[in-house]
Chains A and B, each alone.
Chain A
Amino acid sequence: MRAVWCVDCDWDTKNVLTGSADNSCRLWDCETGKQLALLNTNSAVRTCGFDFSGNIIMFSTDKQMGYQCYLNFFDLRDPQQIEDNQPYLSIPCNDAKITSAVWGPLGEFVNAGHENGEINQFSAKSGEILKKAKEHSRQINDIQTSVDLTMFISASKDNTAKLFDSTSLEHIKTFKTERPVNSAAISPIMDHVVMGGGQEAMEVTTTSTRIGKFEARFFHAAYEEEFGRVKGHFGPINCVAFHPDGKSYSSGGEDGYVRIHYFDPQYFDFELEA
């Protein structure tokens, strides 16, 4: 009924999971589009995802109207859980709500980013916090994993994106910009990361109002140096992603456009002097 905040599909694209502001999380058959399950919640569903096996789903709900933020886990192999709308594990988050979350490499834990910049690693079996990382100073807008799930990159409102190890939550790299970062992604084949951001319309009176001035920025993952920008969006970029083959990337923006860019051969040959 309302905005869809998150979407994920399982590893062989059989099912699709969506979470929405209409306080529900739904499971769909990808090929036919038939709704397989409806899980009602008390508040908007902010982030969702299938684990590595595709058998367990997790989603987080917002802190709204008196309801806390929860991280819920359902095992799809147990139809009773779906029928009763009873997650086998429901973790409450007392302070800062979860804004983005991704599964670990083997489905044992979930790395969640919070409104206050914290990243917590929740066990998918017991619900306890296995590890913590407090590197960002402001809200985490997006977390995306590398293709092998060994690392993830967090995009934050504090104008930086940071690279972490998925298991140890060790902070590896930081990429600095002058604008809040809304989304970041790791290239599957090169040592590159792409970031997109911009100032929220509500937060500033004027930014560069030139058409096409909102840019996706490319950083070298090891050197933490920016080496390229792609213009084109005329509004802040909300989401970026690499194609699984690493030969193109796409970005979605506030302007209502999704842009798909294919890299020139020079992109793959490019090297910073070292």
Chain B
Amino acid sequence: NWSRQMTILQESRSAPGFCLLKGSFSFHLMLPLYFLVCLFFVCVFVFAELLLDILREKPQEADGIDSVVVVDNVPQVGPERLEKLKNVIHKIFSKFGKITTEFYPEADGMTKGYIFLEYAAPTQALEAVKNADGYKLDKQHTFRVNLFTDFDKYMTISDEWETPEKQPFKDFGNMRHWIEDPDCRDQYSVIYEAGERTAIFSNDAKEPITAEERARWTETYVRWSPKGTYLATFHQRGIALWGGEKFKQIQRFSHQGVSLIDFSPCERYVVTFSPLMDTKEDPQAIIIWDILTGQKKRGFHCESSAHWPIFKWSHDGKFFARMTQDTLSIYETPSMGLLDKKSLKISGIKDFSWSPGDNIIAFWVPEDKDIPARVTLMQLPSRQEIRVRNLFNVVDCKLHWQRNGDYLCVKVDRTPKGTQGVVTNFEIFRMREKQVPVDVVEMKDSIIAFAWEPNGSKFAVLHGESPRINASFYHVKNNGKIELIKMFDKQQANSIFWSPQGQFMVLAGLRSMNGALAFVDTSDCTMMNIAEHYMASDVEWDPTGRYVVTSVSWWSHKVDNAYWLWTFQGRLLQKNNKDRFCQLLWRPRPPTLLSTDQIKMIKKDLKKYSKIFEQKDRLSQSKASKELVDKRRAMMEEYRRYRETAQQIYQEQKSIRLELRGGVDTDELDSNVDDWEEETIESVVPYAGNIDDSFMKPLFTFYSSCSSNISRNFYLICWHFAEW
């Protein structure tokens, strides 16, 4: 405002007619006036806010019974212990608000076992009910706390019980229909036309087969459920789940302004988040829903969605937990209540995560005065700490679980005593071994990316600084050693993508690294292929590990939006351009129904199965070429026929052509070869000293590499000027 005022004044000095503002005299008058006006408005605003606050806190004029709670299972005592009882009750219940009245009904000289407490406000009463209900005073007495008004509510329930209406059975068909594809094609969802169209394709090596395509199916993006049963779409009013062969709508969840969702691993529950819905009385920011019944199970507050998902699920869906300041709250399903009715106080807790294989939580706390930082592994529901690891001079930690829960890697950034720099260690916890031994791998460079092999014991690390980025592969061996298998240096990579079946992986340089791709076989650490998908923004493996899709999303790059299909060895199969392509997600597969023995048997007989598949492939291949050849033949015939007719007409018009050109036949290039004269002329052309290659090319390289219109136009102007 200051500078604006100044510029207005400065401008007005040169403009005629603004005599009012001219001169230093007026200027000195304007400034304090302006300041006073601002001050006035600020005061009004603050006053209004204060007023609103007071009004909000104003005690509601109710009947007063809204602030009364009834506490049952209170010990029955005689007059000599009554004072002590009252003190205990007071201590417990005054936590929730100001107790204005208390009443201990008596009979035959003893308290009856239930009491009435009145609070200053109904909100306090609600707090008491929420927190004190179920409070264990001692072995025999667990408080039951209810609102007085609730009694009234439950008393007036009619005696007539109406049988609830039987909901008609909604048959959605075979929800696993896509798994039964005889050619074992996986499905994937594609959002394109900037979000206008969403399509589901079956992946075939030749070309994608459309399974379903709808306009405006989702308003922002889509998500698959963890076992692939449902497709979730986002809408202003909530989310919808689709599934079955025809992608019918299975369920709808109303959550205004929903922006993020998360599924429980068992697909029983879905968690939705909306920044709009939260109120103090009724937490609505996060809601957990039962998918099959569509019921809202519980709502939670949420300050920020920065680290979604806020609630982390255990692998079997039995528990979910969230971390708040100094607290770890673990809830159990299906009750949705706190495990053991209370949260864990863990002072300074920074991060936690569930093992993907067992009900174990790993969390870490930073250094606190004399106590070093430490990582703790806690078994649930027993809450037994099965391993604690102290760490020194810690700056930060990141937890990386191997997909089966066999290993935990804690990436520890430390500043060793006496140094300034940050070094990184990987603390590898061997979960399957007794006492969970920990091995340490020291890394000299800064770490760019880390990833475990999904079902194996290898991990890959990208480290270093561009352009000297190295890719290192380690193997966690059974003999207690962690071996560096191979290191590739000078890689163009910033992300690691393992195949979901392990062994193979893609090192990708996404976004700023222009889509460099390296396909690696980690069984012998060889580069199978090095390729590129210019400006690729995403890499997605299919759930079987046979195919990889690299894509350029319209959300990150406005041109060349497409997704390319590669084999796991890095052979490019398809380039699929889609107008304003945004996102591709593979449909997850449910876990296999085959036992490990059955899988062993199949692997043994693989040769037999291979033969059958190869035959099938050959047939379909020749069918494809036959189709293509037939198509081409038909097109050529059609074209030939058209050309013949055109040629006929052309010949018929010859006389007209001759007339138009005064009798000269120009139908063929050599029609008048007799008229030609050949003459050779030699001349010396003086060097004109033009702007030559050495100037133009670099200038044009500049032009081509400009990333904004403004720079481009600027260089274009320079170029034309130079030319001129």
Contact = CB atoms under 8 A, between A and B. Distances in A.
A183 to B, nearest CB: 20
A65 interface: no
Interface in A149-173: 150-151, 165, 167, 172-173
| Interface SS of A by simple majority | loop
Given A52-B661, A222-B635, A148 B703 contact: no
Given A178-B560, A199-B559, A223-B635, A209 B705 contact: yes
Contact of A274 (B562, B633, B669): B633
Interface stretch (A41-49, A67-75, A92-100, A200-208): A200-208
A186 B697 CA distance: 30
A52 B657 CA distance: 8
Given A148-B667, A221-B639, 15 more contacts: A106-B656, A167-B649, A172-B639, A178-B560, A201-B709, A201-B712, A204-B559, A205-B558, A206-B559, A222-B632, A222-B639, A235-B703, A272-B632, A273-B625, A274-B636
A128 interface: no
B96 interface: no
Given A106-B657, A151-B646, A273 B629 contact: yes
A96 B115 CA distance: 87
A37 to B, nearest CB: 21
Contacts of B647: 150
A52 B660 contact: yes
B696 interface: yes
A274 B629 contact: yes
A224 B635 contact: yes
A201 B559 contact: no
Interface in A236-274: 244-245, 255-256, 272-274
A87 interface: no
A105 interface: yes
A52 B667 CA distance: 12
Contacts of A255: 696, 700
| Residue with the highest number of chain A CB atoms closer than 10 Å, among B534, B559, B705, B723 | B559
Contacts of B335: none
Contact of A205 (B640, B696, B708): B708
A166 to B, nearest CB: 9
Contact of A150 (B562, B650, B661, B664): B650
B716 interface: yes
B700 A148 contact: no
A267 to B, nearest CB: 19
Interface in A138-153: 148, 150-151
A272 B701 CA distance: 36
A191 interface: yes
A234 B632 contact: no
Chain B's interface size range is 35 or more
A207 B559 contact: yes
Nearest to A273: B629
A211 B669 CA distance: 37
29 contacts: A11-B666, A12-B664, A52-B661, A53-B660, A106-B656, A150-B650, A151-B646, A191-B639, A199-B559, A201-B712, A201-B713, A202-B713, A205-B708, A206-B535, A206-B559, A206-B707, A208-B534, A208-B560, A209-B705, A210-B534, A223-B636, A224-B635, A234-B700, A234-B701, A244-B669, A245-B669, A256-B700, A256-B723, A272-B632
Chain A's interface size range is 35 or more
A150 B639 CA distance: 14
B10 interface: no
Given A106-B657, A148-B650, A201-B712, A222 B669 contact: no
Contacts of A202: 709, 712-713
Contacts of B701: 211, 234
B571 interface: no
A127 interface: no
B642 interface: yes
B652 to A, nearest CB: 11
Contacts of A12: 661, 664
Contacts of A107: 660
A205 B629 CA distance: 41
A210 B701 CA distance: 9
B622 interface: no
Contact of B636 (A210, A222, A235, A244): A222
A106 B660 contact: yes
Interface in A169-214: 172-173, 178, 191, 199, 201-202, 204-211
Nearest to A166: B646
A150 B712 CA distance: 41
B704 interface: yes
B592 interface: no
B661 A53 contact: yes
Interface in A71-125: 105-107
A221 B632 CA distance: 11
Nearest to B704: A209
Contact of A273 (B632, B664, B719): B632
Interface in B686-710: 696-697, 700-701, 703-705, 707-709
B557 A206 contact: yes
Contact of B653 (A105, A165, A201, A207): A105
Nearest to A107: B660
B577 interface: yes
Contacts of B535: 206, 208
